[in-house]
Amino acid sequence: MNETLVVFSRALIAFFSLLIFARILGKQQVSQLTFFDYILGITIGSIAGSLTIDLANSTWAHWVGLAVWALFVLIFQWLTIKRRKLEKYIDGEPTIVIEKGKLLEDNMKKMRYRLTDLLVQLRQNGVFEMTEVDYAVLETDGKLSILKKPEYQPVTLKDLRLKPSYKGMSTELIYDGEVMEKNLQQLRLNYAWLEKQINDFGFQHPKEVFLAVINEAGTIFIDGYQDKLQQPKDISDYKDLEW
């Protein structure tokens, strides 16, 4: 068989295998990427690469190796959910590096966490003065969580005793020029109503609209392909709108 065709076929196998295994393993590998997860990801990717271009060995051998590694990851995910101690052993634990405004040098040394890294991550979190920090915790994925001292925390509406207006979730009405019929039905709206809204925003047809969404407060946002960026329009007086 032609070598190019063989590589193409093996690449398809590797691609769809990774796609299936990634779906099975879930989002943990990305959203909570610990050092252990990072190594596993590199290893699985390396096996997939070998499956594609290593013509000296059979496709089946590489695919079995890929499947076994994915299975091990799945097993360890299940075990760490069921066994807290095992999770601590594999992923480690969050480490406090600043406590009550004081640097904990011993904890930083144990984690081999440099002062330079701490200062960089503080700046990335919008903190340029050490005096603002009450607690800082180095998470298992290497990110720094910061609790500022009360006097440096942003004021909330609750602090001001103000009642915020409820916005709720937004629902797509038009996505990439296509009307979301199912969403319209769920909101008890119809095409005539939608057409009127897009006309008010200066569009003649849904095909001209890139995105149209409406939130639970009745505020609609419409944006067209020609960059006719519009301000959100309040339609809270639309009495027939039910949620």
Distance CA 148, CA 139 (A): 17
The predicted pLDDT at position 87 comes to: 67
Selection from 99, 103, 95, 108 nearest residue 134 by Cα: 99
The predicted pLDDT at position 231 comes to: 53
| pTM strictly above 0.75 | no
Amino acid at 38: Y
The predicted pLDDT at position 243 comes to: 40
User: How long is the chain?
Assistant: 243
Q: Max CA-CA distance within the chain?
A: 75
How big is the CA angle at 106 (ends 102 and 110), to the nearest 5 degrees? 130
Q: Which residues of the chain have pLDDT under 70?
A: 1, 25-36, 84, 86-91, 227-243
Over residues 31-57, the pLDDT tens digits come to 456 666 777 778 888 888 888 888 877
Over residues 158-176, the pLDDT tens digits come to 888 888 877 888 999 999 9
217 Cβ partners below 8 Å, 6+ apart?
165, 166, 167, 168, 236
